[in-house]
Amino acid sequence: MAPPTDDRTYQARWILPISRPPFQDGWVRVADGSVIEIGSGRPSQSAIDLGDAALMPGLVNAHTHLEFSDLSEPIGIGPDGRSTVPLSAWIALVTRRRFDADLSQRSRVVQTGLRESIDAGVRLIGDIVTPDPAGTPAETTNPTSGPPSSIDTFPATVIRFAEVIGLSLPRMEERWAAASNLIENDANAGLSPHAPYSMRRDRIRQVIDQARSLSRPVAMHVAESPDERELIRNGGGAFADALRSMGVWQDDVFPWSDTTVDGDYRSLIERLTQAPRALLVHGNDLTDQELDTVAGHPDLSIVYCPRTHDYFGYAPHPMDRCIAKGIRVALGTDSRASNPDLDLWSEVRFLLNHRQDIAPECVLRAATLSGADALGKPMFGRIEAGCHPGLGMVATTANDLDGLFRDLAVGTYQPVL
């Protein structure tokens, strides 16, 4: 075996492996991007001393839409920094913007978002993509244009989820053909039946069955708002009005015929368990009974996008209840259509400052290890021998865990590898 070409050791005031508790005065040895060993005290070999810093893995953004990365501000933003319209009306604005977008620029836009993510320390991304029926969608690889970056040699790994959407059969068939083309040409890609409000139930089953047959992961927006529940329960409300105004309403789709007052989503959740792995994106409005169903299936994960959640002014996310029930929770940024940037560490800081009911260790886990496991990439998100997570640091002079977490709540994450 050839010796490593890049072998270096980093030492820091704190080491946060994530897969085990933080410890002080430690070091991490990395060769060609992979962790070789980790320890405490003085390393036996020469080391790069990061000083008063907490060294941790690269971040994992389990849910985003890079195709909106050219937006300078979220769609529908008001003077208070929140959306001026509910999700149902916002979806119409996003759809109009997508139709008006210049498809020839999509690759450039995706690369812009990827570069922003990489420079923010994200090393693994779950990206929802809109496949182009006329050809292969924009590749999400390491950016090759724009200002130089010291970390260009450590690009992010992107898991692409081909979005399938449409209430009418012609629209659905068009999107299904485009998604099929993507997954045929990308062995790592997954499928994304968009949401309960935007797909026919039989076609949701079709997508999940295909994911199972091809051993591909699934990501689906689920229980994003109470309006969505009203739509599938009784076929009315704000979402029904929005779908009619968009001209996409189909009389035979809503309401779902087998929903009950107590558990509108349980049959869908059970269906998602048929996929090898499934990410339930948002999950803002899931009941305890529905969360119990999720908790019974270890291959299901919930992806929480904190600042997008706040943008729409929803009631507190059930992340605390998810953790109590043993559900894996990962973090995402959603997109610049509902978020000012793609900085995942800002999601961490938001939770550390606004959700004191959630243990800081759980927040850090959601931003790293849990996201990696949700995406089926356990080599990311933790500092352990054999992993290649990337590394980042936050300045801290703390002497105990309480001080460490206070520093993390206000600090800036800086990529190291």
Range with the poorest average pLDDT among 74-78, 92-96, 342-346: 92-96
The pLDDT of residue 134 is 63
- Note whether 20 and 83 are same-domain residues: no
> CA separation (Å) from 236 to 17, 31, 226, 249, 264?
48, 58, 12, 11, 14
Q: Please state, in angstroms and rounded to a whole number, the distance separating the CA atoms of residues 94 and 112.
A: 19
- Note whether 184 and 280 are same-domain residues: yes
What average pLDDT does range 401-413 have in this prediction?
98
For residue 387, is it within any domain?
no
Give me the CATH number covering residue 246.
Answer: 3.20.20.140
- Note whether 78 and 124 are same-domain residues: yes
For 239, the domain range is 59-380
Which candidate, 55, 16, 17, 86, places its Cα nearest to that of 312? 86
pTM for this model (two decimals): 0.94
For residue 1, is it within any domain?
no
How far out from the chain centre does Cα 97 lie? 22
pLDDT tens per residue across span 235-253: 999 999 999 999 999 999 9
For residue 300, is it within any domain?
yes
- Note whether 344 and 409 are same-domain residues: no
pLDDT-derived band at 382 (thresholds 50, 70, 90) equals very high
- Note whether 357 and 403 are same-domain residues: no
Q: Please state, in angstroms and rounded to a whole number, the distance separating the CA atoms of residues 238 and 218.
A: 27
Complete DSSP assignment for 280-328: EEE-TT--HHHHHHHHT-TTEEEEE-HHHHHHTTPSPPTHHHHHHTT-E
What average pLDDT does range 299-325 have in this prediction?
98
Q: Looking up tokens 């999107």, which residue turns up?
A: 175
- Note whether 266 and 407 are same-domain residues: no
The pLDDT of residue 3 is 62
- Note whether 400 and 289 are same-domain residues: no
Mean predicted lDDT score pLDDT of the chain: 92
> 243 by DSSP, 3-state: which?
helix
For residue 194, is it within any domain?
yes
To the nearest 10 degrees (0 to 180), the angle between helices 226-234 and 238-245 is: 80
- Note whether 203 and 335 are same-domain residues: yes
- Note whether 114 and 26 are same-domain residues: no
pLDDT tens per residue across span 289-311: 999 999 999 999 999 999 999 99
The pLDDT of residue 132 is 78
In the predicted model, is pLDDT for residue 324 greater than 90? Answer: yes
Instruction: Locate all alpha helices (DSSP H) within 312-391, ordered by sequence.
Output: 319-324, 344-354, 360-366, 369-374
Instruction: Tell me how far apart the terminal alpha carbons of the chain are, to the nearest angstrom.
Output: 24
For residue 135, is it within any domain?
yes
Total of domains in the chain: 2
Q: List all residues 6 or more positions away from 98 whose beta carbon is below 8 Å from its beta carbon.
A: 67, 130
Asked if 177 and 165 touch (Cβ cutoff 8 Å), the reply is: no
How many residues are listed for the chain in this entry? 417
- Note whether 271 and 309 are same-domain residues: yes
